[in-house]
Amino acid sequence: MAVQQDAPVQAEVIVLTLRRHGRVLTLPVLLLLVLAAAGGYFVGSFAESWMNWAAGLGGAALALVLGIGPLMSWLANRTTVTNRRVIVRRGFFVQRRIEVPLSRVREVRSRRGPLQRMFGSGDVELVVGADPATVLKDVPAPLALVDALQELIERNYLSQQAELQV
C-alpha cells in the first residue's frame, strides 16, 4: 500500500562533517617519532640477535598501542550534522551511533577550557529535554558550530510550523 503525501518532504542534506580537533593527535605522533628514533638507535646494537628481535617487537607493539591506536580511534569517531539531525558515530571494533533530531534539541551549549581556547576548540552540548546531554567533545570552532546548530534548529522549527498550517 502506498502512502500519499500532500506536501513534498524536504530531502535531508549533510551540512557539516567533523571530527575532534587534530591537537589530540599531538602526543601519539610525538610518541611514534620517539619510538622510531629509539628503535633505530637500539635495534641492532645488542650482542644477541634475540635481544634485537625483542627490542624491535617491543617497539612495534608500543607503536601500535600508543601511536596507531589513538590515530585509528580518532579516524573512527565522527559527527555529521544534517538539516534534520546530528549523528555521532563512535568506535572502531564496537561501533555506537547516536542520533539527535534537531526538533528535540532544547538548548545548545558550548564550553571551552583554557587549552581549548588556545587551540580554537571546545565542547558542544546538545540538551534534549530530560535526557542526558549529548556532548561533542573537542570540536574545532565550537562557536561557529553552535551558531550553525541554532540556525538549523530555528529553520527546522519554522518548517514544522509551516507543515502544521498546511
pLDDT confidence of residue 87: 96
Whether residue 110 lies inside any domain: the answer is yes
pLDDT confidence of residue 5: 54
Residue 91: is it exposed, middle or buried by C-beta count within 10 angstroms (0-12/13-18/19+)?
Answer: exposed
pLDDT confidence of residue 142: 94
Judge if 99 and 127 occupy the same domain. yes
Cα–Cα dist 76/83, whole Å: 23
Judge if 107 and 148 occupy the same domain. yes
DSSP 8-state secondary structure symbol assigned to residue 11 = P
Whether residue 106 lies inside any domain: the answer is yes
Number of domains in the chain: 2
Selection from 16, 20, 33 nearest residue 67 by Cα: 33
pLDDT confidence of residue 7: 53
Domain that holds residue 39: 25-73
pLDDT confidence of residue 9: 61
Judge if 58 and 117 occupy the same domain. no
Judge if 97 and 44 occupy the same domain. no
Tens of pLDDT along the chain (166 residues) come to: 454 555 556 788 999 999 999 999 999 999 999 999 999 998 888 899 999 999 999 999 999 999 999 999 999 999 999 999 999 999 988 999 999 999 999 999 999 999 999 999 999 999 998 888 999 999 999 999 999 999 999 998 888 888 777 6
pLDDT confidence of residue 8: 57
Judge if 60 and 98 occupy the same domain. no
The grid coordinates of residue 138 equal 573537542
pLDDT confidence of residue 2: 52
Whether residue 6 lies inside any domain: the answer is no
